[in-house]
Structures are given as structure tokens and as C-alpha cells.
Chain A
């Protein structure tokens, strides 16, 4: 028996095996929320949405459903664009969200960003009147992913029993997955300072076009490169190098500079309309399919993946 938590924010991991356990672990949670008059959102992979809609029947009309494979394709945007946007839309009531950001098909390149996202939910929602329940597919996920879920969630529900996680340590997880990102063999680089910002953007756009990116996606990449390179000039020591290459049907673009990213929630806070600046990393998270970051005293690498 543990002392009841005084923290308003509740963030349990739900371990499940198979559809029945999934429904048993989530549907009562949704129904309790609805009965208490709490706004409820369910952000899980598409096939799971169908399962929950059908299990809920008529009650499904009161729930906001979001396909996490789309909205949360880039885990870096789940906090601002999925979780906070729903919580902030209901400032006067407690909200319930089911968020499933990690599924068996997530690649090894995506996974570190997924775990860091799960860890950062805790500080992003500290003091907020909300419950975010995160289902974990015990049958499909790796042992490491399940172990990490204990470190990113203060509370764990397994086989219907809830207990405090003995290994909860979200800051350590963020640090452990702050993995070095060595320069890719295929990467072409361009060193820039303030005077070369436009040229750095053209450099990436020209190569991205050659790799098959076009239209809106190409425009988006130009915006992303402008934000990252401008950040290097303004906050990252004044200069940097941008690299670009193609990898597994994606264009990958990264910016390296001598600065250190001290705020782990940078790019994950929604921006109020009256705020003048500070949208650069948020935009990068919104417009790309994956962002990986390595930062430390020796510098920062921000690597973005964009589907062609």
C-alpha cells in the first residue's frame, strides 16, 4: 500500500495482451470519465480506434478520436498538437486522454524519440488536472520498451492491478536516449553563418528535390531548414553546418552547431497567439515525420526525417 499521490496529473502505463485486455483496460476508463463529465480523447493507432468505437457503442459520440499514427507520426509533436491542444481546450475541467504513442511497428530510429516523448509528458503536464493513460502492447513490444515504460510512468497497470512503478525516472530516460548521431556516410554538408542562411536553404532544397521531394513537402522542408539554421545563428554560437541525404524513402536533414539545448520541452509547448517568437522548433516538430536530437556541452544535432 502506498500513500495517495497529491499530484493532480496522473500518468499510468497500461500493459495489455490482446484485444480483450485492451478493451477491459480502456473502456471502463473512458466510461468513468464520461460519467464524471470529463472530456475524453482517445489517441491510438487506427485499428485500435475501431475496436474502441465499437466497444463503446453510443457513448463513442462523446469521445474525441485521433489516429495516433497520423497525428503522432512524429512523437515530438504529440504533446503540443494532440495532448495539450485537447487539455487546453477544456481549461476548467479535468480531462482524460488515452495516448498510445509506441506500437510494435515503430522503427529503431523512431523509438528513442518515442521514449523521450513519454518521459517528457510528466514535466509537460505537471500540476495539470488530467489523466493520460498509455497502453503498451506486451505481446508485440520489445522487452526494452516495456522496461522503459516503467521508467517513464509513475504508475503501472498490469493484469488489472495498479501499482507505483519502482523504477520511475523520466529525466534519466531523456538523458539515456540523448544518443549521439554520427554524420551519415551519404550526407552532403554546407557550413553557414548569418550571411549564408538563404544559401543553406537553397542547398537543402536543391538536393531534396533531387531525392524526390516536391510541392508542399519541399516548401515545408525549406521552412524547417530556415528555423534550424537561424536558431544556430541566433542561439547556437553563430554558425553551423547543415547536412542532407536520402534514407529509406525519406529525406533526412540535420543541423549541427556548437550550442546546447538546455530546455527538454523546447518545441513541445503550444504557442499562444500573442507570443512573438519561439515557434521555430514547434514548427519543426509539426512539419516533419521524425525529429531526433543529440545535445550536450560539445554541441547540438537536430536531425529531421521527411517522407517523400
Chain B
């Protein structure tokens, strides 16, 4: 478990009732952690997070999603587009996403370079 959450756990219950997304930088590696849902209401925040990830000047960027309860197809699509735009040799490591996210990636972007999924 990431220590940042222990100090200040994400309020997933309120995210569930309002369909919100909270995002903040990871404390121990380059990247971001998110809590809540990725859907129409939170798409802009999600896409902004992906834009920031793409700008990081490191080989591997982390996106920790253990407290994300839902990602819609447009959210997965935005991730795939971001990954396809990464320079050669760079990748986004998606950590503990909702299981459906991996299935949607496999369904529409099989063998996508630039994304590595570490399952829950």
C-alpha cells in the first residue's frame, strides 16, 4: 500500500456518490495517483493527468489507480492515445486499475506499446 494513502486516504465513498476524480502526484516515484471514477464528468481531469504524464522526462511514468472504481471507454481511449504519442522507449505503468480497464485495452488496443498494466 502506498504510504501517501495511509496518511490521507482517498474518499472513495464520496467519489462514488458524485462521480468525482481526485488526482495527486506520487510521493515515491514519478507519476500520479488517482481516486474516484473516470467518466464524462471527470474526463477533463483525467486527460490533464495523462497530458502531464506524457510530459514527464523519464522512461517509466506511474499511474496508480487502486482507488479508481470505474473507467469508461473514452477514459481508456484517452490513455491509449497518450501512450501512442509517447516517444520510443517511454511507457506509462498503470498500477492496479479496475479489471475492466485491462479488458477494454485488450479489446481495442491489443499489444499496445507504451502501456504496461500491473493488475490488482
User: Interface on A for B, CB 8 Å cutoff?
Assistant: 194-195, 197-199, 201-202, 216, 219-220, 222-223, 226-227, 230, 233-234, 271, 273-274, 276-277, 279-280, 283, 286
Contacts and interface: CB of A to CB of B under 8 A. Distances in A.
A277 B41 CA distance: 16
Among B16, B39, B72, B104, the one with the most A-chain Cβ atoms within 10 Å of its Cβ is: B72
B72 A230 contact: yes
A290 B80 CA distance: 28
A197 B108 contact: no
B77 A230 contact: no
9 contacts: A197-B19, A197-B40, A198-B70, A202-B16, A219-B98, A223-B100, A226-B70, A279-B77, A279-B108
Contacts of A195: 41
Interface in B86-115: 98-100, 103-104, 107-109, 112
Contacts of A283: 73, 104, 107
B37 interface: yes
B81 interface: yes
Interface string B38-66: 01110000000000000000000000000
Contacts of A220: 100
The secondary structure that dominates the B interface is: helix
B99 to A, nearest CB: 6
B77 A226 contact: no
A233 B72 CA distance: 14
B84 interface: yes
Contact of A273 (B37, B39, B100, B108): B108
Given A197-B40, A198-B16, A219 B99 contact: yes
Contacts of B77: 276-277, 279
Contact of A271 (B78, B99, B108): B108
Given A201-B39, A223-B72, A276-B81, 12 more contacts: A195-B41, A197-B19, A197-B41, A198-B37, A202-B16, A216-B100, A219-B103, A222-B100, A273-B80, A273-B112, A283-B73, A286-B107
B27 interface: no
A273 B98 contact: no
B107 A280 contact: no
B16 A226 contact: no
Contact of A234 (B40, B78, B81, B100): B40
Contacts of B109: 273
Nearest to B99: A219
B72 A227 contact: yes
Contact of B74 (A198, A201, A271, A277): A277
B70 A227 contact: no
Nearest to A198: B19
A246 to B, nearest CB: 22
Contacts of A233: 40
A229 B49 CA distance: 25
Contact of B73 (A202, A223, A234): A223
Contacts of B39: 197-198, 201, 226, 230
A271 to B, nearest CB: 6
Contacts of A226: 39, 70, 72-73
A222 B73 contact: no
A219 B70 CA distance: 9
B40 A201 contact: no
Contacts of A222: 70, 100
Contact of A198 (B41, B84, B103): B41
